[in-house]
Amino acid sequence: SSDKKSFTRVWCDGCYDMVHFGHANSLRQAKEMGDYLIVGVHTDEEIRKHKGPPVFNEEERYRMVRAIKWVDEVVEGAPYVTTKDTLEKYNCAFCVHGDDITMTADGKDTYQEVKDAKLYRECQRTAGISTTDLVGRMLLLTRDHLNRSESEEAITSGKGESSPWTGASQFLQTSRKIMQFADTKGPKAGDRIVYVAGAFDLFHIGHLDFLEAAAKEGDYLIVGLHPDSVVNKYKGSNSPIMNLNERVLNTLAYRVVSEVVIGAPYAVSAELMDSFKVDVVVHGITPIFEDYDGADPYAEPKRRGKFKLIDSGNPLTTEDIITRILKNRLDF
């Protein structure tokens, strides 16, 4: 463009292990500080050296970060310590990091050099979400199922945004945050609308592979997220790990998602299909649990000849991730 002088390339880097909306929110803020966002992601080996083994391998982490809607480019295997040389190499004006301090294995601030060179800017860390916190919730999940009266008590006693099931979340959702994450453009005339529904708990690379495959069935992808109580009913245990508000942001962070239905009904109803002008309803390879009355939740789209099963080729589930994390903890 003719505006070359004011075109600002911004650098972020990190582990981005178990990517959540806190990471996405930092990338969103960084993108707002410039025009083009480059994200350096560390290798497994670097992470192992400085803070212990990651849960997701580097190929998975590169792919997840690349799919976040504010990311323009990913640099694979970026060094753990951010230097002036790295910023220069990728022609970035400055780097952005949350307002928490990251240390190397020998206790040095990984951003000291760029801070001294005034090439460092801070964004606001998202309160109420971190990998450590998620791991804590997973440990709760493996305990006995909360009994119904206990969970109902948790709702009525007004424990903020906590999931009544895992009983853990400090995150406060706001309309502003949803707007910042949402796509403001609706579908264009003639767009083929694809609808999928699910829990999308701990949004992971299996979900991403599935959504990218589903999106290929049309032009505009709507993701229905079931309420916490519904997810709990069909997934059992203390699911979901992330409450509806958190799952909304986690899902909206990805470029492939056009729109989210917040608290979608379990069964895909005629009303839903008509109001969103849904052309095709898609489900992945995981089993389809029947509705509380024994009905097939996809009966309506099937009746209309608008249902499709697709295999994304990725068998990963939220349960697999929990298993990986528990194993990873034992490796420390």
What's the token pair of residue 123? Answer: 């964004």
Residue number, nearest CB to ligand CTP: 98
Task: Output the smallest distance, CB 7 to ligand C5P, in A.
Answer: 38
**Measured from the CB atom, is 77 or 313 closer to ligand C5P?**
313
251 binds ligand C5P (CB under 6 A): no
283 binds, among ligand CTP, ligand C5P, none (CB under 5 to 8 A by kind): ligand C5P
Told to check if 16 binds ligand CTP by CB under 6 A, we report yes
CB of 160 to ligand CTP, least distance (A): 17
Binding flag, residue 56, ligand C5P (CB under 6 A): no
Distance CA 220, CA 193 (A): 5
Per CB under 6 A, 43 contacts ligand CTP: no
CB 194 within 8 A of CB 205: no
User: Using CA atoms, how far apart are residues 41 and 264, in angstroms rounded to an integer?
Assistant: 34
Q: In what order do the strands lie in the sheet with 307-309?
A: 259-262, 220-225, 193-198, 280-283, 307-309
Q: Which residue is nearest to ligand C5P (CB)?
A: 284
Runs of H (alpha helix) within the chain: 21-32, 44-51, 58-66, 84-89, 112-116, 131-141, 148-156, 175-181, 205-215, 228-235, 244-252, 270-275, 299-303, 318-331
* Span of 36-44, 178-186, 201-209, 298-306 interacting with ligand C5P by CB under 6 A: 201-209
Residue 98 interacts, among ligand CTP, ligand C5P, none and using kind-specific CB cut-offs from 5 to 8 Å, with: ligand CTP
Q: Is 123 helix (H, G, I), strand (E, B) or coil?
A: strand
Residues within the interface to ligand C5P (CB under 6 A): 196, 198-201, 206-207, 210, 283-286, 312, 314-317
